[in-house]
Amino acid sequence: MPSNTNASSGHKSGKKKGRRARLVVIVLVLAIVGGIGFGAYWSISTVRASFPQTKGTIKLDGLSRNVEVKRDGNGIPQIYADSDADLFMAQGYVQAQDRFWEMDVRRHMTSGRLSEMFGKSQVKTDEFLRTLGWHRVAKKEYDTKLSPETKKYLQAYAKGVNAYLEGKDGKDISVEYAALGFTNDYKPQKWTPVDSVAWLKAMAWDLRGNMQDEIDRSLMTSRLGPSQIKDLYPEYPYKRNKPIVREGAYDSVTEKYDAEGAPTDTQTGTGGTGGAAGTGLAGGAQAPDGMQSQLSGLSDALDEVPAILGPNGNGIGSNSWVVSGSHTITGKPLLANDPHLAPQLPSVWYQMGLHCRSVSDTCQYDVSGYTFSGMPGVVIGHNNDIAWGMTNLGADVTDLYLEKFTGDGYQFDGKVLPFTTREETIKVAGGKDKKITVRGTNNGPLISDRDDELVKVGKKAGVDTAAPDRGDGYGVALRWTALTPGKSMDAVFDLNKAKNFTEFRKAASSFEVPSQNLIYADTKGNIGYQAPGKIPTRGKGDGSLPAPGWDADYRWDGYIPQDALPYEYNPERGYIVTANQAVIDDSDKAKYPYKLTSDWGYGARSQRIDDLIQSKIKNGGKISTEDMRLMQTDNSSEIAKLLVPKLLKIDIKDKYVREAQKLLEGWDYTQDADSAAAAYFNSVWRSILKLAIGNKLPKELRVKGQCLNVEPAGNTRPADEGKRVRECGERDADSAQPDGGDRYYEVIRKIIDDETNSWWRSPATRTDKETKNRDQLFERALHDARWDLTAKLGKDIDTWSWGRLHRLTLKNQTLGTEGPGWLQFVLNRGPWNLGGGEAAVNATGWNAAGGYGVVWVPSMRMVVNLKDLDKSKWINLTGASGHAYNAHYDDQTDKWAKGELLPWAHSRQAVEKSTSDKLVLRP
C-alpha cells in the first residue's frame, strides 16, 4: 500500500516537488527527443529497464518442469508446458513482463482504488466503483462459485505474476511507475486470483446493455412527448434487417429451444417488440421537470467510469460471422470476428498461445487467440478442434429502481426494510483518506448516494397514484446481473477445451456475464451459434425506464432457462451473422416467450455483412480468407445510400455550397480515408441530425458547453410555445445524443418520405431562416456542412478527405490522458487518418453530436481457417507490449489501420518456424 503524504507538509515542500518534477520533465524530454548526453543515458536506461527478457533462461521457483516461451517477429508469445499449473504460471509471468502496468491499473479500477495511484482526481470514480462492489462480488465468485480446477489455474497465474514482481522496484516494471514516482511513492502489491476474476466485471460494465437508454428516455420526457420519444426509439426492422437466428423455434411443451424442428405447441408470452421502448415511467406516467436534473446527475456519475473503459451506447458492438464449407474455397468453415471497443494503448486484447506439449489429463490445453492481460486462459480464438467468436448480445440485464426512503430504511410491499450498509475507506495518494457509507436495498446498491443531486432522484418523478408519498424524493438502486456471483471464469476454461458443439454449448451455459453472442465452427465442418447469459425475467414493467422499487410486482422473478435461449446448428443457408442485431424475430410474441431486450442494435452492419456474403455465394461462388478480410474492412455507408439521392435534388444557389454538393455526384458511398465525398456527406448527416433532432433534446443529452436558444419540441408545454430560453449542453461529447448510430438511421428512414413531418421543422437563427419541411432542412444542412468543413479543412475542396476529420489517437491508460503534456507525448501515439465510420462494417465509430474523431474501433480482427489453422489470420490494435518505446508497443497499428492481417501460427511446426526469440523458464 502506498503511504500517504502528510497534508501538513506545507506549501514549500509542494514547490520543491514541483521544481523537481519540472527538472525531470526537461531531462526526460531532452533525452528522448534529443537523445544526447547523460540525460539520454539516464532516460533510455530508465525506459529500457522494464523491457522483458525474451531470450535465454530465467529461473522460476514453483515450476515443475521447463517451460518454453517462443515469440514471433511481433513479440506475440506462444507458451509450451507439460502441466496445466506450469502453463498458467508461465502465462501470468509473461503477461506481467509485457503488461503489468495495465494489469495494475485494471485491478485498481475494479476494486475502486485508483486514488491510491493517481490521487484525489479519482476519488469520485472510486466512490462509484466501491458502491457497485465489483471486487467484492468477484471474491464471492472465487470463494463460492468457481470450480476447484479454475481456482488452481487462477492461483497458478497469480503465482507467475508475483514471481515476475519479486525483487523489482516500480521503475524495473514499467516507465509509468518511474513517472508516478515523482509525485507518489506508490509500490505495486502482489497479484491475487480475485484480481483476475474482477476484470470480467469491468468488461460486463462496458457491455451492460440498455442502462444509458433507460436514463436517456427518462431525461427526454421533460421536453418530448410519448409519441416523440417513440419516434426516436423505433421498432426493429425485422423485414429488412434479418435477426441472427432464423431456424428452429421454442417448444412450450419441453420449454427448450429446438434449433432444428418446429415446436409441438406455441403460446403467447411476454416477448418484446425488439426496438420500440415504452415511454411511461414506473407504470405509465411521464417524468416531468424535477426528474430531469436528478437523472442527469446519474448520467454524470456513470460517465466517470466510461472515462476509463470508453463510451457505452447503441453504436458500440462487434461483428462476427461464420461461413460453412459448402460456401468456402477450402471446403471447411471460415470464422471472422472483430469486437468494437474504446481504443486503448496498449490494446485491451493480448494475443497468445497456450500449448501443452502433449495433451493429457494433467495438461489439457492447446489453444491460441486473444485474452485479457491479468486473466488466465484465452477468451476468443481456437483450439485444435473448434473456433469461436463473440459479439455483444445486448441483453437487458440492468434495471434502475426508484426507492422510497423512510427513516433508516426503505419501503417494500407496505413494510419498511433496513438498508444493507458497509463502510469503505478510500486511500488517496497525497491526501487524506475518505470514508463513505455504501447503502443497498433488496434491488441492489443505492447509486444515488454517490451524487448530491441523486439523493433527490424522483422528487418530482411521475409515478402512479399507488406510489408512496415522495417526501424528500426517491433514491435510485441498480439491479444488474454482474452483481450476483457467477461462473463466467469457469466458462473461459471450458471453451478452451471444448471439442464439439455439445461441449461448446455446455461451456456457454456458464458464460453468464457479460451476455455475448457466441459463434462456432469446427474442423469437421459444423457451424453454430448460441445465445448465453444470465438474462432476467420480470413481473411488471419492461425495463425501459426506472421501476418502482416499493412494488414487489416489479421485481425480477427469475432468469431465462439456458435451454430456452436461442441457438442454431448448421443452418440451411450455410452461414450465421452476428453484429448486435436482434437475436430472434420476436415481432410475433407467440414465437418466443421471453424478452431479451427492447434495445437491439438496428442491424445496419449485420445486414450489410449478410448482403456481402449473399453477393459472393450467389450462383455457386466461394468465399476465401481474403474475402472475409475484405468484408471486415467494408466502408459502405448505409445512411448515405438513403439520403444522397435526395440531397442531390436540392437546388443550391450558393456556388461554394453547390461545389461541395457536386462531390456527392457519382459517389459510391464508401468512406475511404481519402474520400472528400465521405467527409462532406458525414458533415451533412451530422447537420441533419442536429437540426432535426439534437436541438430539440434536453440539455442533459446535448454536448457539454454547446448553448442554444431553444423552445420545447411539439406541444408538450403549450404555455411556453413561442418562447425561448438559453440552455447549454451537459453531456460528455463521446456519449451525447444524437450519436448518429443506426438507431438514427431508422428514425430518419421512418420519416424520410413525410416531407412536412414536425421533426423537419427547425427555428430561425440570426443567419438562417426557419425550416418547415424536409428539403428546407436538407438545404440548410448542406450549407452548414460546407462552412463547417471550410473551417476545419480549408476552402479548397480538393484538399478535403474523410481521414483528416476522422482521426484516431491512441492514448496510454491514465497517464496518457491525465498526465502532464510531456508524459502524454512519451506514452501516446498517432494520429492515424481512418476510413470507415458509424454503423459501417469497418466500425470506426464517431459521435455525430460530439465531432468526427474516432471513439471506438474494431479492437482486433481475426479470420480462422478451419481447414488449416496455420493459415488463419489476426491483428491487434496496438502490439504485444505495454512498454513505451518497445519495438512491439504499437507495431501492429499501421497494418491494422490499412485493414491488413498477420499470419497466425498455431501448430508446433508453424510456431517454431515463426519464432524470433526463445525464452526458457526453468524450475
| Cβ-contact 923, 60 below 8 angstroms | yes
Under the banding of pLDDT at 50, 70 and 90, the label for residue 29 is very low
CA 65 to chain centre: 39
CA distance 483 to 445: 9
- pLDDT score for 624: 97
Nearest in space to 608 (alpha carbons), one of 631, 629, 642: 631
Return the H-helix or E-strand segment holding 406: strand 398-406
pLDDT, tens digit, for every residue of 422-480? 999 999 998 999 999 999 999 999 988 886 534 433 444 445 556 666 566 688 899 99
User: Facing residues of 337 across strands?
Assistant: 320, 862
Nearest in space to 634 (alpha carbons), one of 662, 607, 659, 656: 607
For residue 65, pLDDT beyond 70: yes
Question: Among residues of the chain, what percentage have pLDDT more than 70?
Answer: 83
Nine-digit cell at 621? Answer: 461462388
Q: Which residues of 744-769 are buried (b: 16+ CB within 10 A; e: fewer)?
A: bbbbbbebeeeeeebbbbbbeeeeee
Is 722 exposed, middle or buried, given 0-12, 13-18 or 19+ CB atoms closer than 10 A? exposed
CA distance 392 to 375: 20
CA distance 402 to 900: 49
| Cβ-contact 800, 827 below 8 angstroms | no
User: Is the bond into 718 cis (omega within 30 degrees of 0)?
Assistant: no
- pLDDT score for 209: 61
CA distance 682 to 671: 9
- pLDDT score for 19: 38
Comparing 58 with 735, which gets the higher pLDDT?
A: 58
CA distance 23 to 13: 15
For residue 866, pLDDT beyond 50: yes
pLDDT, tens digit, for every residue of 678-691? 999 999 999 999 99
CA distance 512 to 443: 19
Nearest in space to 393 (alpha carbons), one of 258, 244, 503, 238: 244
DSSP letter at 910? Answer: H
| Cβ-contact 314, 207 below 8 angstroms | no
- pLDDT score for 182: 74
User: Facing residues of 380 across strands?
Assistant: 370
Nine-digit cell at 415? Answer: 413494510
pLDDT, tens digit, for every residue of 698-722? 988 999 989 988 765 444 444 455 6
- Supply the pTM of this predicted model: 0.90
Q: Cβ–Cβ contacts within 10 Å for residue 733, how many?
A: 17
* 294-308, 344-358, 909-923: least confident range: 294-308
Q: State the residue for C-alpha cell 477450402.
A: 330
- Averaged pLDDT of the chain: 86
pLDDT, tens digit, for every residue of 592-611? 899 898 888 999 999 999 99
Cα-Cα-Cα-Cα torsion 262, 239, 588, 316, nearest 10 degrees, comes to: 100
Cα–Cα separations (whole angstroms), residue 48 to 51, 75, 572, 879, 885: 5, 16, 56, 17, 8
Contacts of 399 (CB under 8 A, 6+ apart): 214, 443, 478, 479, 480, 536, 538, 541, 543, 546, 547, 556
Comparing 28 with 679, which gets the higher pLDDT?
A: 679
- pLDDT score for 589: 62
CA distance 792 to 788: 6
Helix count (H) and strand count (E) of the chain?
A: 28, 34
Return the H-helix or E-strand segment holding 725: strand 725-728
- pLDDT score for 472: 61
Helix (H/G/I), strand (E/B), else coil: 200: helix
Comparing 588 with 350, which gets the higher pLDDT?
A: 350
For residue 912, pLDDT beyond 70: yes
User: Is the bond into 763 cis (omega within 30 degrees of 0)?
Assistant: no
User: Facing residues of 920 across strands?
Assistant: 57, 68
DSSP letter at 424? Answer: E
